A and B are shown apart, each in its own frame.
Chain A
Amino acid sequence: MTAQDTADAVPELPATLWRDPEPKRGYDVVIVGGGGHGLATAYYLARNHGITDVAVVDKGWLAGGNMARNTTIIRSNYLLDASAGIYEHAMKLWEGLADDLDCPILFSQRGVLNLAHSPQDVREGVRRVNANRLNGIDAEWLDPRQALEICPILNISPDVRYPVLGATYQPRAGIARHDYVAWGFARAADRLGVDLIQDCEVTGIEVDSGRVTGVSTTRGLLTARKVALCAAGHSSVLAEMAGLRLPVQSHPLQALVSELLEPVHPTVVMSNAVHVYVSQAHKGELVMGAGIDQYNSYAQRGGLHVIQRQLAAALELFPIFARAHVLRTWGGIVDVTPDASAILGLTPIDGLYLNCGWGTGGFKATPGAGWCYADTIANGVPHPLAAPLTLERFATGALVDEHGAAAVAH
């Protein structure tokens, strides 16, 4: 960890972020949802494809959905080729993003450890590391001692209920500041002429003989040649407005944060088996996430038992956290697909595009997904990296089953 990573100073944020324009009557492209994905899509549409007659509409304050709520873990060490492709593409973009956007995003490549607690975890971890390396993604398998060197506060005692038997490690992985990422994309898109329209809820999707023509909103009708959905947890609700049903369920996902603490935790640790992931953010707070609440919900909150279980697990791994304090817990709405991979591409309706299903792990994909989605929208055919992520896979059976195969979330 560099000194810069831990400096408590708020970086100098841009003195201007975005205009707050009145919506025009119509646009080339209307992007529904001003989260990270919507904003990144708008930016790359303008930057890579010169399409600037674009509006991003959001029902609330910009990037106030999952983008404002996630635990900011960024990694690309996914098992399956289809996932590795798009996440690694995103990783490369992350690596140049602050410069590209000319905005601090506090991207800190402090590495991610994924812990293994059973022989089967070990096999899966080794399998993933090997697949990553062949896919050109940095990955290492560490024994418990080596994991301890990376994270000196990790409890690797064999005498705990589920001892650490090893870990995968991706050195280039890390965290960033979610709000700044959103604002960086928003500002850059705004400067290229994109209208960012807040407090503008889409209430209908206008379709005429199989072609999308616009959206109706709480701020009036916006015509559009193309409409791109980017509504994360609300994707099903929006798709239904166009008569589409999606293989997506919305669940609460909770996270929490501690007070500011002197640096103790230099990396990111994830443990799927015991359901906890934790990092120490730039200012010094411990940021932790848990597993999803089991039921469908749009309430942006979940049950306390999930947090209790998560903290019990955290203390097994990090006894030093015993007297840290939870300052705040919160929840987002994550859009989960049957195979835990995203859906990105065309829909049966002409001009209507779909990006959803990133579930518990779409923050890290933000630049990559935005890039590929913009390309898909601009060209009307799926970007090659997004090609495996079509809706059709649910009928053919060609799932991208990270869920079944790797069972690693976030």
Chain B
Amino acid sequence: MLIECPWCGPRDETEFHYGGQAHVSYPDDPSVLTDEQWARYLFYRDNPQGRFAERWCHGSACRRWFNAVRDTRTHQIVATYRTGESAPVT
């Protein structure tokens, strides 16, 4: 895959490492969660067949994390965007 780092531009996939689903935020106060709720945060992630907002880190260059929307059926990347921004497409 060719991944467009929002900071560096398009680079080969081997320069990146993967971080799974994007936009999963750490709970405000884990101590108030039930075990089940905490397990959801720890272990449960979306796994859609189709477009997926996910995290990547440009480990071999700028070392920045960013997000991508990619189709898991085709590997086609529809958009990449910076951490903290919301997905430009869904």
Q: Which residues of A contact B (CB under 8 A)?
A: 234, 236-237, 245-250, 294-299, 303, 305, 338, 394-397
**Contact residues of B between 32 and 90, Cβ < 8 Å to A:** 35-36, 38-40, 42-49, 52, 54, 70, 72-75
> Which chain B residue has the least Cβ–Cβ distance from A308?
B14
B47-A338 in contact (CB<8A): no
Beyond the given A338-B43, A394-B44, A395-B39, please list 7 additional residue pairs across the A-B interface where CB-CB is below 8 A: A236-B46, A237-B49, A249-B20, A295-B18, A295-B54, A298-B72, A303-B13
Write 6 A-B pairs (CB below 8 A) sorted by A numbering: A249-B47, A250-B47, A295-B72, A297-B75, A298-B49, A299-B73
Q: Which chain B positions have C-beta within 8 A of A248?
A: 47
Q: Which 9 A-B pairs rank lowest in CB-CB distance, beginning with the nearest? A: A236-B47, A395-B39, A247-B43, A294-B18, A338-B43, A394-B39, A394-B43, A395-B35, A298-B49
Complex formed: what's the CA distance from A395 to B35 in Å? 5
B57 to chain A, nearest CB (A): 11
B73-A298 in contact (CB<8A): yes
Q: Which residues of B contact A (CB under 8 A)?
A: 1, 13-14, 17-18, 20, 35-36, 38-40, 42-49, 52, 54, 70, 72-75
B44-A250 in contact (CB<8A): no
Residue of B18, B36, B39, B54 contacting most chain A CB atoms (<10 Å): B39
A282 to chain B, nearest CB (A): 34
Complex formed: what's the CA distance from A238 to B87 in Å? 26
B72-A247 in contact (CB<8A): no
Complex formed: what's the CA distance from A123 to B55 in Å? 35
Complex formed: what's the CA distance from A265 to B59 in Å? 38
Contact (A299, B14) CB under 8 Å given A247-B44, A338-B43, A395-B39: no
B19 to chain A, nearest CB (A): 9
Complex formed: what's the CA distance from A295 to B71 in Å? 11
Q: Which chain B positions have C-beta within 8 A of A295?
A: 18, 54, 70, 72, 75
B72-A299 in contact (CB<8A): yes
B13 to chain A, nearest CB (A): 6
B42-A338 in contact (CB<8A): yes
Contact (A296, B47) CB under 8 Å given A250-B72, A303-B1, A303-B13: yes
Q: Which chain B positions have C-beta within 8 A of A305?
A: 13-14
Complex formed: what's the CA distance from A249 to B14 in Å? 20
A191 to chain B, nearest CB (A): 34
B75 to chain A, nearest CB (A): 6
B45-A396 in contact (CB<8A): no
Residue of B35, B40, B47, B72 contacting most chain A CB atoms (<10 Å): B47
Q: Which chain A positions have C-beta within 8 A of B39?
A: 247, 394-395
> Which chain A residue has the least Cβ–Cβ distance from B76?
A299
Complex formed: what's the CA distance from A237 to B46 in Å? 10
Q: Which chain A positions have C-beta within 8 A of B47?
A: 236-237, 246, 248-250, 296
> Which chain A residue has the least Cβ–Cβ distance from B17?
A294
> Which chain A residue has the least Cβ–Cβ distance from B70?
A295
Complex formed: what's the CA distance from A4 to B87 in Å? 58
Complex formed: what's the CA distance from A295 to B74 in Å? 12
Complex formed: what's the CA distance from A250 to B54 in Å? 13
Interface residue from A245, A246, A296, A299 paired with B20 (Cβ < 8 Å): A296
A236 to chain B, nearest CB (A): 4
A149 to chain B, nearest CB (A): 38
